[in-house]
Amino acid sequence: MKIIMKYINTKNRSNIVSFKKALIENQSNNNGLYMPEFIPEFGSLFLRSLKRMSDTEIMQEVLFPYVSEFINKNKLRDIIEKSLNFKIPLVQIEENIHVLELFHGPTLAFKDVGARFLSEILGEFKTENSITRILVSTSGDTGGAVARAFSGKEGFEVYVLYPKNGVSLFQESQITMNAKNVFPIEVDGTFDDCQRMVKSFLQNQDLRRELNLITANSINIGRLLPQIVYYFLAYKQLPHHKHDTVISVPCGNLGNLTAGVIANKMGLPVHKFVSGVNENKVFYNLLKSGNLKIKPSVKTCSNAMDVGNPSNLDRLMYICNQDLAEMRSVICSQTINEEECLDTISNVYKSSNYILDPHSAIGYQSLKNKIKPYQSGIFLATAHPSKFEQVVQRAIPEYTAKQAIEIKNTHKRSIKNEENALKEVLYS
């Protein structure tokens, strides 16, 4: 008998919806996020067969239980082949440490995985003669990935909110150099301000319906689900599975980590996840002290992780049954400051001739601080170093980005940190 996956509100378990509704609504009226009603378990037979399967086949098997209500396997395969058509290699850089390179997509960041999949799957639900408006906040990489994924896509308009002086030149160029259906909005504030405005507009039911608004941030379950697959791809590529595997994830909004924990619940054998954070350490402090204290974000060289109020904490708490002890059994955390981040970039280049971007450097150093000699370690490289050339040059003076920035045909609109200013843009 076919089991149909429904989606449940993390703050109201009686609110159960279809995949399509979860995709369109993104979050419920009470700020709850949608999660799969259950997490399908894959047994040891599936894990043993991974090395014989193509990456596309693995993605298809992992994702199908979540979308089977609306998409058959053949259609899902078509979507995967269109959206996730770039390599995701696991590269060894030390004896027991590998890096999963998630930056081989068109905008050189892991956000391409979720953004491109979401773009294709939303296209399947698109009704004719209507405009769907995508509202997204970004601390750097999300904006470029979503802008690229929807650029020129008929029936969609994309509004990207990003903090003034809060993203790199490379990132800003990726946001502002797209087709006319992409509207970059520079906000005189922080990422948290951008995120707050997006959530506020999505909570306004009348506004959301009138403008046909959805988001492409990771609060959208369609952005989160495809991120599960690359944890299975990493496991497939490990040369051996004799030791405990520890996976280090650079963290900002906690979506990447949430996807990893879901993969673990599906049966992927991970001994521990390490949440690497910069000086925005709300999640680190929660695990350490047990107290959640939301704080304004502070600016660092790893700007995509400059998040003071991580959205997906709600999902992590849901997965762990609101039990901090259970969360600590799965996740530990490390905080890496600015100086340590730059030292890590320099040291890894000298020892392994491998160049890290500042986010991946936090993932690496967090892993090094936690891993035991008998364990196998994987850290996620979430962006290509060329996206942060000026930062990398502070650690490696001779570094020159292979990816040149050609800035042309840019367009953006600057607004005050006010909801009325954003409303004016959306209605113009």
pLDDT tens digits for range 32-60: 899 999 999 999 999 999 999 999 999 99
- 162 and 175 Cβ atoms separated by less than 8 Å: yes
AA identity, residue 102: L
* 120-148 mean pLDDT: 88
Tell me the sheet residues that pair with 109. Answer: 383
Whole-number average pLDDT of the chain: 92
- 157 and 426 Cβ atoms separated by less than 8 Å: no
Phi and psi, residue 79, nearest 5°? -65, -45
Q: What is the pLDDT of residue 130?
A: 83
Q: What is the pLDDT of residue 83?
A: 96
Q: What is the pLDDT of residue 168?
A: 83
List the 7-9 sheet strands across, edge first: 12-17, 7-9, 34-36
pLDDT band (50, 70, 90) for residue 395: very high
The rounded distance, in Å, linking the Cα atoms of 284 and 280 is: 9
- When mean pLDDT is compared across 97-101, 129-133, 329-333, the lowest value belongs to 129-133
The rounded distance, in Å, linking the Cα atoms of 124 and 185 is: 27
| Token pair recorded at residue 69 | 């209500």
Q: What is the pLDDT of residue 418?
A: 94
Picking from 314, 317, 343, the residue whose alpha carbon sits closest to that of residue 330 is: 317
Give 332-365 pLDDT, tens digit per residue. 999 999 999 999 999 999 999 999 999 999 999 9
The rounded distance, in Å, linking the Cα atoms of 367 and 47 is: 24
Predicted structure pTM score: 0.93
Instruction: List the Cα angle 333/339/344 in 5-degree steps.
Output: 70
Which helix (H) or strand (E) is 358 found in, with range? Answer: helix 358-370
* 367-390 mean pLDDT: 95
- 99 and 93 Cβ atoms separated by less than 8 Å: yes
pLDDT band (50, 70, 90) for residue 282: very high
The rounded distance, in Å, linking the Cα atoms of 391 and 297 is: 19
- 398 and 384 Cβ atoms separated by less than 8 Å: no
Instruction: For the chain, give the percent of residues with pLDDT over 70.
Output: 96
pLDDT band (50, 70, 90) for residue 113: very high
The rounded distance, in Å, linking the Cα atoms of 376 and 379 is: 10
Picking from 227, 229, 239, the residue whose alpha carbon sits closest to that of residue 91 is: 239
Q: What is the pLDDT of residue 405?
A: 60
Q: What is the pLDDT of residue 33?
A: 92
pLDDT band (50, 70, 90) for residue 28: low
Give 230-263 pLDDT, tens digit per residue. 999 999 999 877 679 999 999 999 999 999 999 9
- 230 and 253 Cβ atoms separated by less than 8 Å: no
- 137 and 197 Cβ atoms separated by less than 8 Å: yes
Phi and psi, residue 422, nearest 5°? -70, -40
The rounded distance, in Å, linking the Cα atoms of 384 and 401 is: 10
CA dihedral (219, 222, 226, 231) in degrees, to 10, reads: 30
* pLDDT at 1 exceeding the cut of 60: no
Q: Which residues contact 127 (CB under 8 A, 6 or more apart)?
A: none
Give the burial class of 246: count Cβ atoms within 10 A of its Cβ; 0-12 exposed, 13-18 middle, 19 or more buried.
Answer: buried
Burial 270-309 (b: 16+ CB within 10 A, else e): bebbbbbbbbbbbbbbbeeeeeeeeeebeebbbbbbbbbb
* 176-194 mean pLDDT: 92
The rounded distance, in Å, linking the Cα atoms of 307 and 196 is: 11
Q: What is the pLDDT of residue 30?
A: 66
Q: What is the pLDDT of residue 6?
A: 95
* pLDDT at 173 exceeding the cut of 70: yes
Burial 222-236 (b: 16+ CB within 10 A, else e): bbbbbbbbbbbbbbb
Residue with more model confidence, 170 or 160? 160
Give 288-337 pLDDT, tens digit per residue. 999 999 988 899 999 889 988 998 999 999 999 999 999 999 999 999 99
Q: What is the pLDDT of residue 67?
A: 95
Q: What is the pLDDT of residue 187?
A: 96
Q: What is the pLDDT of residue 31?
A: 74
The rounded distance, in Å, linking the Cα atoms of 25 and 407 is: 35
